[in-house]
Amino acid sequence: MTARLVLLGPPGAGKGTQAARLADELGIPAISTGDIFRANIKGGTELGKKVQAITASGALVPDELTNDLVRDRLAQDDAAEGFLLDGYPRNVAQVAALDEILGDRPLDLAVEITADPTVVVERLLKRAEIEGREDDTEDVIRHRLDVYAEQTAPISAVYGERGLLVQVDGIGDVDDVTARLLTAIGTAAR
């Protein structure tokens, strides 16, 4: 199946975990802007140096940097037949940038994983103990959730108006959530 998909949902909703599983099932690459930033920070690249302090604070990286990164990544061969974007777009301006990047081959679907804020804070704090991500401290988590509510949550309505949005409950067993997502995608994607 060719599928051009974006995965939406708050920090801690399980986007990364589910994106990897969906990409496997659907045979398309999962592209996470957060993972790309973290890899660049770890590798000490120019981009990594630019974004390190920003990501550590839980703020958004400037749109121009992020849009260029996604444009380059989507131009690679493996994304020609489809992709699953995780963590992008993250504000309404990035929605417009993605429209422009995709041109006459637009998105098929925006899939939103929904989760209660109390649950996601708990999950992120637990993950902090295991992975030690710099932006998983309680203060930064709360800031990321505020940024999500203010800048990212409005994206759902934009895709909803286009008839492209499906919402899937992210609470429950990881396998069950994957099954729900695959059903939602299978029903809605062309």
Subset of 119-178 contacting ligand ADP (CB under 6 A): 135, 144
Active site residue 123: no
Catalytic annotation, pick one of 50, 71, 123, 127: 127
Q: Which of 34, 95, 113, 185 binds ligand ADP (CB under 6 A)?
A: 34
The span of 52-60, 111-119, 157-165, 172-180 binding ligand ADP (CB under 6 A) equals 52-60
Is residue 29 a contact point for ligand ADP (CB under 6 A)?
Answer: no
Catalytic annotation, pick one of 4, 15, 21, 73: 15
Distance in Å, CB of 169 to ligand ADP, minimum: 18
Question: 114 - beta bridge partners?
Answer: 169
Question: 8 - beta bridge partners?
Answer: 112
The span of 20-28, 84-92, 108-116, 167-175 binding ligand ADP (CB under 6 A) equals 84-92
Calpha distance 150→154 (Å, rounded): 7
Q: At what angle do helices 92-102 and 63-74 cross, to 10 degrees?
A: 30
Is residue 33 a contact point for ligand ADP (CB under 6 A)?
Answer: yes
Is residue 90 a contact point for ligand ADP (CB under 6 A)?
Answer: yes
Is residue 66 a contact point for ligand ADP (CB under 6 A)?
Answer: yes
Does a cis peptide bond (omega within 30 degrees of 0) precede residue 89?
yes
For 42, residues 6+ apart whose C-beta sits below 8 A from its C-beta are 48
Q: Which of 20, 47, 61, 189 binds ligand ADP (CB under 6 A)?
A: 61
Q: What angle do CA 94, 100, 101 make, to 5 degrees?
A: 85
Active site residue 162: no
DSSP secondary structure code for residue 79 in this structure: G
> Residue 181 in 3-state DSSP?
helix
Residue 131: how many CB atoms within 10 A of its CB?
Answer: 10
**Residues of this chain that bind ligand ADP (CB under 6 A):** 11, 33-34, 37, 54-55, 58-61, 66, 87-88, 90, 94, 135, 144
